[in-house]
Amino acid sequence: MIPTVLMEVEKLVIPLAVQRFVLLEAGPAGFYTAQHLIKARPDVTVDIYERLPVPFGLVRFGVAPDHPEVKNVINTFTQTARHERCSFYGNVNVGKDLSVTELQEAYHAVVLSYGAEGNRRMGVPGEDLSGVYSAKDFVGWYNGLPSCREVRIQPLAFP
Ligand SMILES: Cc1cc2nc3c(=O)[nH]c(=O)nc-3n(C[C@H](O)[C@H](O)[C@H](O)COP(=O)(O)OP(=O)(O)OC[C@H]3O[C@@H](n4cnc5c(N)ncnc54)[C@H](O)[C@@H]3O)c2cc1C
Protein backbone atom coordinates (compact mmCIF):
# COMPACT_ATOMS: atom_id res chain seq x y z
CA MET A 1 0.00 0.00 0.00
CA ILE A 2 1.51 3.31 -1.03
CA PRO A 3 0.14 6.40 0.72
CA THR A 4 1.30 8.75 -2.03
CA VAL A 5 -0.89 11.50 -0.62
CA LEU A 6 1.64 11.92 2.23
CA MET A 7 4.15 13.42 -0.14
CA GLU A 8 1.64 16.12 -1.02
CA VAL A 9 0.80 16.78 2.62
CA GLU A 10 4.43 17.43 3.50
CA LYS A 11 4.43 20.26 0.99
CA LEU A 12 1.41 22.00 2.52
CA VAL A 13 2.07 25.38 4.05
CA ILE A 14 0.36 25.37 7.46
CA PRO A 15 -0.30 28.83 8.95
CA LEU A 16 -0.25 29.26 12.73
CA ALA A 17 -3.52 28.69 14.64
CA VAL A 18 -5.50 25.57 15.35
CA GLN A 19 -5.75 23.74 12.08
CA ARG A 20 -8.72 21.70 11.01
CA PHE A 21 -7.99 19.12 8.37
CA VAL A 22 -10.56 16.99 6.64
CA LEU A 23 -9.61 13.67 5.09
CA LEU A 24 -11.72 11.95 2.54
CA GLU A 25 -11.81 8.97 2.85
CA ALA A 26 -11.04 6.24 5.31
CA GLY A 27 -8.74 3.88 3.41
CA PRO A 28 -5.05 3.36 4.22
CA ALA A 29 -3.99 6.55 2.41
CA GLY A 30 -6.41 8.57 4.55
CA PHE A 31 -5.43 6.91 7.81
CA TYR A 32 -1.68 7.17 7.22
CA THR A 33 -2.17 10.86 6.41
CA ALA A 34 -4.24 11.39 9.58
CA GLN A 35 -1.67 9.50 11.68
CA HIS A 36 1.25 11.61 10.43
CA LEU A 37 -0.61 14.92 10.66
CA ILE A 38 -1.65 14.27 14.25
CA LYS A 39 1.88 13.20 15.19
CA ALA A 40 3.59 16.08 13.42
CA ARG A 41 1.42 18.93 14.68
CA PRO A 42 -0.23 19.23 18.13
CA ASP A 43 -2.47 22.01 16.79
CA VAL A 44 -4.06 19.86 14.08
CA THR A 45 -7.43 18.15 14.34
CA VAL A 46 -8.56 15.75 11.64
CA ASP A 47 -12.07 14.78 10.55
CA ILE A 48 -12.42 11.73 8.30
CA TYR A 49 -15.50 11.30 6.10
CA GLU A 50 -16.28 7.90 4.57
CA ARG A 51 -19.21 6.79 2.43
CA LEU A 52 -19.30 3.33 3.99
CA PRO A 53 -20.50 2.93 7.56
CA VAL A 54 -17.11 1.49 8.56
CA PRO A 55 -13.50 2.62 7.96
CA PHE A 56 -10.33 1.03 6.47
CA GLY A 57 -11.30 0.82 2.77
CA LEU A 58 -9.72 -2.01 0.87
CA VAL A 59 -7.76 -3.20 3.90
CA ARG A 60 -11.13 -4.34 5.23
CA PHE A 61 -12.85 -5.14 1.91
CA GLY A 62 -9.96 -6.02 -0.43
CA VAL A 63 -7.08 -7.72 1.36
CA ALA A 64 -7.75 -11.43 1.76
CA PRO A 65 -8.67 -12.78 5.21
CA ASP A 66 -5.71 -15.19 5.05
CA HIS A 67 -3.28 -12.21 4.97
CA PRO A 68 -3.56 -11.21 8.64
CA GLU A 69 -0.10 -9.64 8.58
CA VAL A 70 -1.48 -7.04 6.13
CA LYS A 71 -4.86 -6.65 7.82
CA ASN A 72 -3.06 -6.02 11.14
CA VAL A 73 -2.52 -2.43 10.09
CA ILE A 74 -6.15 -1.96 11.15
CA ASN A 75 -4.88 -1.97 14.77
CA THR A 76 -2.74 1.11 14.12
CA PHE A 77 -5.55 2.81 12.19
CA THR A 78 -7.93 2.14 15.09
CA GLN A 79 -5.55 3.92 17.47
CA THR A 80 -5.56 6.91 15.11
CA ALA A 81 -9.38 6.86 14.85
CA ARG A 82 -9.61 6.87 18.66
CA HIS A 83 -7.19 9.79 19.05
CA GLU A 84 -8.77 12.79 20.75
CA ARG A 85 -7.89 14.98 17.76
CA CYS A 86 -9.37 12.61 15.18
CA SER A 87 -13.06 12.04 14.35
CA PHE A 88 -14.58 9.51 11.96
CA TYR A 89 -17.90 10.12 10.17
CA GLY A 90 -19.26 7.12 8.27
CA ASN A 91 -22.15 7.00 5.80
CA VAL A 92 -21.13 10.32 4.25
CA ASN A 93 -20.83 10.23 0.48
CA VAL A 94 -18.70 13.18 -0.58
CA GLY A 95 -20.02 14.70 -3.76
CA LYS A 96 -23.55 13.73 -2.77
CA ASP A 97 -24.10 14.42 0.96
CA LEU A 98 -21.35 17.06 1.11
CA SER A 99 -19.61 18.96 -1.67
CA VAL A 100 -15.86 19.52 -1.78
CA THR A 101 -16.59 23.27 -1.91
CA GLU A 102 -18.51 23.05 1.38
CA LEU A 103 -15.58 21.22 2.94
CA GLN A 104 -13.08 23.76 1.64
CA GLU A 105 -15.14 26.49 3.28
CA ALA A 106 -15.25 24.65 6.63
CA TYR A 107 -11.62 23.42 6.89
CA HIS A 108 -8.11 24.81 6.52
CA ALA A 109 -7.13 21.95 4.22
CA VAL A 110 -8.90 19.09 2.47
CA VAL A 111 -7.13 15.87 1.46
CA LEU A 112 -8.92 13.58 -1.00
CA SER A 113 -7.85 9.93 -0.70
CA TYR A 114 -10.75 8.08 -2.28
CA GLY A 115 -8.84 5.16 -3.79
CA ALA A 116 -9.61 3.60 -7.16
CA GLU A 117 -13.17 3.22 -8.38
CA GLY A 118 -14.41 0.61 -10.82
CA ASN A 119 -12.60 -2.10 -12.73
CA ARG A 120 -10.19 -1.94 -15.65
CA ARG A 121 -11.06 -4.16 -18.60
CA MET A 122 -8.18 -6.11 -20.11
CA GLY A 123 -9.59 -6.51 -23.61
CA VAL A 124 -8.72 -10.21 -23.78
CA PRO A 125 -10.86 -13.01 -25.28
CA GLY A 126 -13.15 -14.67 -22.73
CA GLU A 127 -13.31 -11.65 -20.45
CA ASP A 128 -17.11 -11.63 -20.60
CA LEU A 129 -17.60 -15.35 -19.98
CA SER A 130 -19.78 -16.44 -17.10
CA GLY A 131 -17.51 -17.22 -14.17
CA VAL A 132 -14.99 -14.44 -14.89
CA TYR A 133 -14.97 -11.71 -12.22
CA SER A 134 -12.91 -8.65 -11.48
CA ALA A 135 -10.60 -9.09 -8.48
CA LYS A 136 -12.31 -6.10 -6.85
CA ASP A 137 -15.78 -7.68 -7.09
CA PHE A 138 -14.47 -11.07 -5.99
CA VAL A 139 -12.65 -9.88 -2.89
CA GLY A 140 -15.53 -7.50 -2.14
CA TRP A 141 -17.87 -10.49 -2.21
CA TYR A 142 -15.83 -12.71 0.11
CA ASN A 143 -15.03 -9.81 2.45
CA GLY A 144 -18.74 -8.91 2.79
CA LEU A 145 -18.73 -5.54 0.98
CA PRO A 146 -22.40 -4.42 0.87
CA SER A 147 -22.20 -3.30 -2.81
CA CYS A 148 -21.01 -6.82 -3.79
CA ARG A 149 -23.80 -8.72 -2.05
CA GLU A 150 -25.53 -9.42 -5.39
CA VAL A 151 -22.40 -10.99 -6.92
CA ARG A 152 -23.08 -14.68 -7.54
CA ILE A 153 -19.85 -16.60 -7.92
CA GLN A 154 -20.28 -19.35 -10.53
CA PRO A 155 -17.80 -21.92 -11.87
CA LEU A 156 -16.03 -20.83 -15.06
CA ALA A 157 -18.04 -21.74 -18.18
CA PHE A 158 -15.51 -22.89 -20.80
CA PRO A 159 -16.70 -22.36 -24.40
C1 LIG B 1 -8.45 -7.03 -5.15
C2 LIG B 1 -7.41 -6.30 -4.34
C3 LIG B 1 -6.60 -6.99 -3.46
C4 LIG B 1 -5.60 -6.34 -2.75
N5 LIG B 1 -4.81 -7.06 -1.91
C6 LIG B 1 -3.79 -6.44 -1.26
C7 LIG B 1 -2.93 -7.16 -0.38
O8 LIG B 1 -3.08 -8.37 -0.17
N9 LIG B 1 -1.91 -6.47 0.24
C10 LIG B 1 -1.71 -5.11 0.02
O11 LIG B 1 -0.77 -4.53 0.60
N12 LIG B 1 -2.53 -4.41 -0.80
C13 LIG B 1 -3.55 -5.04 -1.45
N14 LIG B 1 -4.35 -4.34 -2.31
C15 LIG B 1 -4.06 -2.93 -2.53
C16 LIG B 1 -4.58 -2.05 -1.40
O17 LIG B 1 -5.87 -2.49 -1.01
C18 LIG B 1 -4.64 -0.61 -1.91
O19 LIG B 1 -3.36 -0.22 -2.37
C20 LIG B 1 -5.04 0.37 -0.81
O21 LIG B 1 -6.25 -0.06 -0.19
C22 LIG B 1 -5.23 1.75 -1.40
O23 LIG B 1 -5.58 2.61 -0.33
P24 LIG B 1 -6.42 3.92 -0.58
O25 LIG B 1 -6.61 4.55 0.76
O26 LIG B 1 -5.79 4.72 -1.66
O27 LIG B 1 -7.82 3.44 -1.20
P28 LIG B 1 -9.04 2.51 -0.57
O29 LIG B 1 -8.51 1.44 0.32
O30 LIG B 1 -9.85 2.11 -1.76
O31 LIG B 1 -9.82 3.55 0.31
C32 LIG B 1 -10.60 4.59 -0.27
C33 LIG B 1 -11.80 4.86 0.64
O34 LIG B 1 -12.52 5.98 0.10
C35 LIG B 1 -13.91 5.73 0.24
N36 LIG B 1 -14.62 6.57 -0.73
C37 LIG B 1 -14.53 6.52 -2.10
N38 LIG B 1 -15.30 7.48 -2.64
C39 LIG B 1 -15.88 8.16 -1.61
C40 LIG B 1 -16.79 9.27 -1.53
N41 LIG B 1 -17.28 9.88 -2.64
N42 LIG B 1 -17.18 9.72 -0.30
C43 LIG B 1 -16.72 9.12 0.84
N44 LIG B 1 -15.85 8.05 0.83
C45 LIG B 1 -15.46 7.58 -0.39
C46 LIG B 1 -14.04 4.23 -0.05
O47 LIG B 1 -15.25 3.71 0.46
C48 LIG B 1 -12.81 3.70 0.69
O49 LIG B 1 -13.08 3.39 2.05
C50 LIG B 1 -5.39 -4.95 -2.96
C51 LIG B 1 -6.23 -4.24 -3.84
C52 LIG B 1 -7.24 -4.91 -4.52
C53 LIG B 1 -8.16 -4.11 -5.45
What are the chain's domains? 17-112 (3.40.50.720), 125-159 (no CATH)
Looking at the predicted structure, is the pLDDT value of residue 64 above 70?
yes
Looking at the predicted structure, is the pLDDT value of residue 14 above 80?
no
Nearest CA to ligand 1 atom 21: 58
What is the 3-state composition of the chain as percent helix, strand, coil, each rounded to the nearest 5? Answer: 35, 15, 50
Give distance in angstroms: CA of 63 to centre of ligand 1: 9
Q: 18 or 10, which is more confident?
A: 18
Helix ranges, the chain (H): 5-10, 28-40, 57-61, 68-71, 73-81, 100-106, 135-142
Relative to the CA of 28, which ligand 1 atom is closest?
25
Q: What pLDDT sits at residue 6?
A: 40
Looking at the predicted structure, is the pLDDT value of residue 140 above 80?
yes
Which residue out of 66, 110, 114 has the highest number of ligand 1 atoms within 8 Å of its CB and is therefore the one to mutate?
A: 114
Q: What is the mean pLDDT of residues 101-116?
A: 89
pLDDT tens digit string along 67-95? 889 989 999 999 999 999 999 999 999 99
Element spanning 159, H or E: none
